[in-house]
A and B are shown apart, each in its own frame.
Chain A
Amino acid sequence: MNLIGKNITYKPDNQFHLNDVSFDFKKGNLYTILGRTLSGKTTFLKTIAGLLNPDTGELFFEDKDFSKIPVWERNVAMVYQQFINYPHLNVYENIIFPLKQRKLSEEQIKMDVEDALKTVGLVGFENRKIQELSGGQQQRVALARSLAKKAKILLLDEPLVNLDYKLREQLREEFKRIFSEGLSQDTILIYSTTDPQEVMELNGEVIVLHEGKVLQKGDAKEIFENPKNLKVAEISNDPPMNILTGSKGLDKLNFENISIKLPPYLKDLKSQNYYFGIRASEIKLDKEGEEFEIELAEISGSETLLHLKKGNSKVIALIEEVMNFKIHEKVKVKFNENKFYVFNNNEELVSSPYGVHNG
């Protein structure tokens, strides 16, 4: 009864959009697809929707060969990152459109639409034209349309990416509520995003996609604590995880220009060269720390991102308050030595502060 994909590959013009992707999605679950722009997220969702036919591979749903069923009979719903609604119809007509296609009874349609409007908070907007709505409201209409349809597979393709910061935060909160209340246990929800924050907050099963390949699968916590390799560590952190090359010494981690006390959990590490990863939030201002030069200071929301440099070592530090820094100013920062991820020369994780579960 699951949605199962086997070895799906899609490569138009010999470029891999999906490269040997397999999955097994269970009903009632939320799956997030995390990947950068052009990593194949949209292709992935379109393949499930049936808008694209993979070159090789199989797709099954409820034990039926899904690839034999055309899009319009698949009973899926999709929300695009662009706010796609039917411009010639008003809000109400937009939401009943898929229901009318399925020839449901008038009363059924009325109830479903009212529910959907309530869920997305657009009651009272029924007769508005789409063009009169703000971006956030347009996206709510699109969401309402896909919810009212009660599709068994609900696909959301970066639904928040085109919204401004504040609205994004707000809708993200609402999404969590809608996903937990508004969906039946029959629905498979697949949500794609570039934003690791969203993945953590939605807290579903995560699939990390890069250049059409699945790099890692697991729940959000697992991805956060045990990124399988360097790429996953970069993709699943925003700002990307700082990567420093260095080596393990007797009682120190030696990087170019910097050395840091060896944390206990890395004692058993072989002495050799590694990639060391540390999150931006684990680098703190500290009077006893190392001296770095500020290359750039960005203030975003209530945080300050410091781009720091010492010799050839560049790191980004996330300071959780708004502070004014001058460029080329010197600051002292301290690395939290207990939060280093260690990757070997094949860029695979060998040690994590949370212990390695995947070997």
Chain B
Amino acid sequence: MHKLYTFLKYTFITLWTVFIVAPFLWAISTSFKDFQSVNSKVTYIPWLDFEPTLEGWRVLVKSPARGGVDIVEPYFNSIFVTCTASLISIILGTLAAYALSRFTFKAGFVRNNDITFFFISQRIMPPIVLSIPFFIFLSTIGLLDSLFGLVVVYIVLLMPIAVWIMVDFFNRVPKELDETALIDGCNPYQAFYKVVLPNSIPGLIVAGMFCIIFGWIDFFFAFILTFTEVQLLPVKVVALNSSITPWWSLSASALISVAPLIIVAFVVERYLSKGNLSGALK
């Protein structure tokens, strides 16, 4: 019985791993193929089945005039927008979350929980609801089709995530820790950045990770709020057409799109598994 269970368990895990990893392997191997290896026969293993070439990757960085697609600029646009918006969201979100966790707000019938819910509610409605207001808003302030316009919009999208995660995190940090800091001679600001913040690094990392992921994968707002001046990576990748751009370049562009997320996941995973995060505070 036990052996059967172990057998089934490992069988399932193996199949699942294959299911997850196979497309990646396929994309990786395809990105190094040339026309011959893709179209003539089924090939899998580099050097054995086909001769690997970097042609597919070169197309990505070549300018359109020379037959390339040039995703370099959208790539850095995406990195800039995602990182800037995530950073600002984390800073503002953490401050908001700390205030919501530690102080009591009363305004009419509005209490702390209502304010927290207000933040989260931004993520509850479908993004399309926000598209027209955002469009009008950005066109009014003249930031349509610009990187900064996108940063503003992404802050609106990402800050609720930061607030949500950090409120939950701060609620688990005992209030007595802040109080001890106050008693030990810190003013409230010092108590926050000398004591509470250093003990909140795990929460900050998780919040940062979510912000980066949600910022990076957004297609919708990047699509409707930009036209010609700036383009973000998801929009660019989607715009690639397989009848013009070859399969091997499409594979390469897909891989390079998920690469940052994979890196983020590895970094966070390594940090989380150090074990000095969750147990830091009882």
Query: How far is it, in angstroms, between the C-alpha of A239 and the C-alpha of B211 when the chains are bound?
Result: 56
Q: Are B185 and A84 in contact (CB under 8 A)?
A: no
Q: Is A305 engaged at the interface, CB distance under 8 Å to the other chain?
A: no
0/1 string, B175-212, CB within 8 A of A gives 1: 01101111111110010000100110000000000000
Contact across chains for A145 and B281 when beta carbons are under 8 A apart? no
A72-B187, A131-B280 known; A84-B174 Cβ under 8 A: yes
Residues A72 and B182 in contact, CB atoms below 8 Å apart? yes
Partner of A71 from B177, B183, B279 at Cβ < 8 Å: B183
Q: By the criterion CB–CB under 8 Å, are A82 and B174 in contact? A: yes
Of residues 67 through 83 on chain A, the ones whose CB sits less than 8 Å from some CB of chain B are 70-74, 76-78, 80, 82-83
| B187, A86: Cβ atoms closer than 8 Å | no
User: Do the beta carbons of A80 and B176 come within 8 Å of each other?
Assistant: yes
Task: Tell me the nearest residue of chain B to A103, going by C-beta.
Answer: B185
Report yes or no: A101 in contact with B186, Cβ–Cβ below 8 A: yes
User: In the assembly, what is the distance between CA of A71 and CA of B185, in Å?
Assistant: 7
A101 and B185 in contact (CB under 8 A), knowing A84-B177, A87-B280, A88-B280? Answer: yes
- The residues of A that contact B281 with a CB separation of less than 8 Å are 87
Residue contact B280 to A82, C-beta cutoff 8 Å: no
62-81 of chain B: CB within 8 A of chain A:
none
User: Pick the contact of A98 from B176, B184, B198, B280 — CB < 8 Å?
Assistant: B184
Contact B176 A84, beta carbon cutoff 8 Å: yes
- Minimum CB–CB distance from B191 to chain A (whole Å) comes to 8
Cβ A102 vs Cβ B185 within 8 A: yes
Query: Could you say which residues of chain B place their CB within 8 Å of the CB of A78?
Result: 179-180, 183
Asked if A59 is at the interface (CB within 8 A of a chain B CB), the reply is no
Q: Does A51 contact B (CB under 8 A)?
A: yes
- Which of A73, A82, A101 neighbours the largest number of chain B CB atoms within 10 Å of its CB? A101
Report whether B179 and A101 are in contact in the complex, using a CB–CB cutoff of 8 Å: no
A101 to B190 alpha-carbon distance, docked (Å): 10
Q: Is the CB of B198 within 8 A of A88?
A: yes
Name the residue on A nearest B197 (C-beta): A88
Q: List, in ascending order, chain A residues with CB within 8 A of B179's CB.
A: 46, 49, 51, 71, 78
Chain A positions within 8 Å of B198 at CB level = 88
A87 / chain B contacts, CB cutoff of 8 Å: 199, 280-281
Give the Cβ gap from B18 to chain A, nearest Cβ, in Å: 40
The chain A residue with its CB closest to the CB of B195 is A86
Residue A149 at the B interface, CB < 8 A?
A: yes
Which chain B residues (134-185) contact chain A, with CB distance < 8 Å? 174, 176-177, 179-185
Which residue of A76, A82, A145 is within 8 Å of B176 (Cβ)? A82
- Among A72, A80, A85, the residue within 8 A (CB) of B185 is A72
> Do B187 and A131 touch across chains, with their CB atoms under 8 A apart?
no
Closest to A80 in B: B176
Please tell me which one of the listed residues A49, A82, A86, A88 contacts residue B183 in the complex, with CB atoms under 8 A apart: A49
User: How far, in whole Å, are A274 and B179 apart by their CA atoms in the complex?
Assistant: 47
A97 interface contact, C-beta 8 A = yes
**Residue among A49, A71, A102 with max Cβ neighbours from chain B (10 Å):** A71
Cα-based distance from A92 to B174 in the complex (angstroms) = 22
CB of B181 to closest CB in A, whole Å = 8
A18 to chain B, nearest CB (A): 17
Residues of A contacting B195 in the complex (Cβ-Cβ under 8 angstroms):
86, 88
A85 to B195: give the CA distance in the assembly, Å: 10
Minimum Cβ distance to chain A for residue B38 (Å): 54
Residues A149 and B177 in contact, CB atoms below 8 Å apart = no
- CA–CA, A70 and B182, complex, Å: 9
Given the contacts A88-B199, A98-B185, A80 and B279 also touching, CB distance less than 8 Å: no
Which residue of the partner chain A has the closest CB to B281? A87
Contacts of A98 in B (CB 8 A): 183-185
Does the CB pair A71–B176 fall under 8 Å?
no
Cα of A76 to Cα of B180 in the assembled complex, Å: 10
Per-residue CB proximity of A45-74 to B under 8 Å, as 1/0? 010010100000000000000000011111
Given A86-B195, A87-B199, A88-B198, A76:B183 Cβ within 8 A: yes
A70, B279: Cβ atoms under 8 Å?
no
- A72-B187, A84-B177, A86-B177 in contact; A131/B279 too (CB < 8 A)? yes
Q: Counting chain A CB atoms within 10 Å of each CB, which of B187, B280, B282 scores highest?
A: B282
Cβ distance B240 to chain A, nearest Cβ, rounded Å: 47
Set of chain B residues within 8 Å of A82, measured between Cβ atoms: 174, 176, 282
Residues of A within 8 A of B174 (CB): 82, 84
Binary A-proximity of B250-282 (CB < 8 A = 1, otherwise 0): 000000000000000000000000000001111
Assuming A82-B174, A82-B176, A84-B177, is B280 touching A145 (CB within 8 A)? no
Give the shortest distance, in Å, between A13 (CB) and chain B (any CB). 11
A224 to B279, CA, bound (A): 44
Measured CB to CB, the closest approach of chain A to B200, in angstroms, equals 9
Distance of A102 Cα from B201 Cα, bound (Å): 26
**Residues of A contacting B184 with CB < 8 Å?**
72, 77, 97-98, 101, 145, 149
Measured in the bound complex, the distance between the Cα atoms of B196 and A84 in whole Å is 13
Q: Which of B184, B186, B187, B195 has the most CB of A within 10 A?
A: B184
What are 24 contact pairs spanning A and B, CB under 8 A? A46-B179, A49-B183, A51-B182, A72-B182, A72-B183, A72-B185, A76-B183, A77-B184, A78-B179, A82-B176, A84-B174, A86-B180, A86-B199, A87-B280, A88-B199, A88-B280, A97-B184, A98-B183, A98-B184, A101-B184, A101-B185, A101-B186, A145-B184, A149-B184
Closest CB pairs A-B (n = 4): A101-B185, A98-B184, A88-B198, A71-B182
